[in-house]
Amino acid sequence: MENIIQTKLAHLTFKSPVFTASGTYGYADEYDDFLDVSEIGAIVTKAISLKPREGNKHTRIIETQAGMINSIGLENLGIEGFLEKKLPVLRAKNIDFIMNIAGSSMEEYALLGEICSQNNIKAIELNVSCPNVKSGCLEFGVSADSLYNLVSKVRENYDGFLIVKLTPNVTSIEELALACKRAGADCISAINTLKGLEVKFELVNGKFRKTKVQGGYSGVGIQPVALSMVNRIRQAVDLPIIGMGGIYTLEDMLKFFAVGADAIQIGTANFTYPDIAKKLQDELREYIIKNNFKDLDDLKNKIRTCFNEQ
C-alpha cells in the first residue's frame, strides 16, 4: 500500500509528518519500550553542543495548569559523545532523525555544522531560541541581522537539510523567517518555548517554602500562540514549516496543517503519553482513508482552502 502520509520537505522525504521535538525524546532509543521509534516520521535529538554541558543546577522542571516550564540548560553529552555513542544506534535501528545543535558563538555553530557535514548528518535543526541558557541560542534568534549572519555561516559549512527553530519571544517573527530564507535555510520549525515563570508555595511550621522555575513554557497552553506564529511565517515565506506547540490530538495536528505547517513536532505530550507519536500517526492515516482523501497532501490542500476562505 502506498504511503499516504509520506511527507516531503523540500528535497527531503520522511515516512510521515509526525516528528518528536528536541529535548523531549532523548538522543536515540530511549523510547524503545513504548514503540518502534523507526516507524515514526523522525525524532529531533536533544540539543548537541560542541562540548558536553552539565545544564542548570537549580530546579529544572515544574508543572503548570496548562503545561510545564523547563530550565534544563541544554544538558548534553557533546558532539563527540553523540557521534561515538548515539549516532551508531540511530543508524543501526534505521531511525530517521534531525540533529538539534546549539552553540555559544557563531564560530561554534559553524564548526558544529561542518562536523555534521563530515559525518553525513542529513538534517540539522539550529537551536537559536532556547530561553534558559546564559549565552548563545536566543541571543542570536531575536535579531534578524544576527540570525542572518549565523544561518549564513552554518550554510557555508553544512550541505545537508538546514532547519532553523524560531522563538516566539519577538515582535516580528516574519522578519526572522525572511532572514532565514535569505541566508539559505531549507526549512523553519516553530515555535520554541515561551518565556515563563512558575512558583509554588508550601507552608511548613509557619514559614513559606517555595519551588520556583523560570525558563521555557510549553504544553497545551501555548497552542494559540504557536498557531498564530506558524500562520504569520507562512504568509511571509514559502519555505517548509514544521509546527509545534501543545499538540496532543489529531485535531491539534489538523489545525497546524490548516495554518501552513507541513509537518509537526510533539513535545510536552511525550512525557505523559510516551507512545503518542505513533498513536497520532496511525490516527492521521486512518482519518485520510476514512474520509476518502487521496493522501496527506490532498488533506492539507483542502483544510487550508477552508481556513483561507473569507
Average pLDDT value over all residues in the chain = 93
Query: With pLDDT > 90 as the criterion, what percentage of the chain qualifies?
Result: 85
Cα dihedral across residues 295, 301, 305, 306: positive or negative: positive
- The reported pLDDT for the residue numbered 1 is 41
Q: Which of 72-76, 137-141, 304-308 has the lowest mean pLDDT?
A: 137-141
Q: Which residues are catalytic?
A: 130
Side chain identity, residue 33: D
**Under 8 Å CB-to-CB from 68, ≥6 apart: which residues?**
61, 62, 217, 218, 219, 268, 271
Between CA 44 and CA 99 the distance in angstroms is: 6
Residue range 184-201: mean pLDDT, rounded:
95
Alpha carbon of 236 to those of 24, 150, 265: distances in Å? 29, 20, 21
Q: Where are the domains of the chain?
A: 7-55+73-194+218-308
Query: Which CATH superfamily includes the segment(s) 7-55+73-194+218-308?
Result: Aldolase class I (3.20.20.70)
With 0-12 CB in 10 A as exposed, 13-18 as middle and 19+ as buried, what is 226? Answer: buried
- The reported pLDDT for the residue numbered 136 is 45
- Identify which has the larger pLDDT, 27 or 130: 27
pLDDT, tens only, 237-257: 999 999 999 999 999 999 999
Q: At what angle do helices 250-259 and 223-236 cross, to 10 degrees?
A: 30
pLDDT, tens only, 133-188: 444 455 577 889 999 999 999 999 999 999 999 999 899 999 999 999 999 999 99
pLDDT band at 56 (very low <50, low <70, confident <90, very high): confident
Cell numbers of 54, please?
552539565
